[in-house]
Amino acid sequence: MALRVGDIILVPVKAESGPFAEECLISFNSLDGPISGFIRADQVVKRSEKAHIRARVLKVTRESISVQLHGSFFTTTGLAHIGRDTPYLEAA
């Protein structure tokens, strides 16, 4: 898939139950370090038994993909840089 700015991709995450029934605690590794936070449970996408979250592509380089995430995160405002080798999926 040739990524373009504005594309929506699915980023793999670890998802656990959050403090409220409608929330999930998610975590994943970015190029800047671990990212974790809360998102609405209905924003977790299951594909092949694995959890993913939607992200909008902001920038693409040879080494990384900059994405905007939706949720409440501990270490970012929702901006993440993931490696090109991250097993992301196309959002349907």
Q: 17: part of which helix (H) or strand (E)?
A: strand 8-17
At 1 the pLDDT is 63
Binned average pLDDT, 10 residues per bin, the chain of 92 residues: 90 94 95 95 91 96 95 90 92 74
Q: Does the pTM exceed 0.75?
A: yes
Name the pairing type of β-strands 64-69 and 50-60.
Answer: antiparallel
**How is residue 89 written in tokens?**
């999926």
At 2 the pLDDT is 85
Residue 16 has a CB neighbour count (10 Å cut-off) of: 11
At 92 the pLDDT is 66
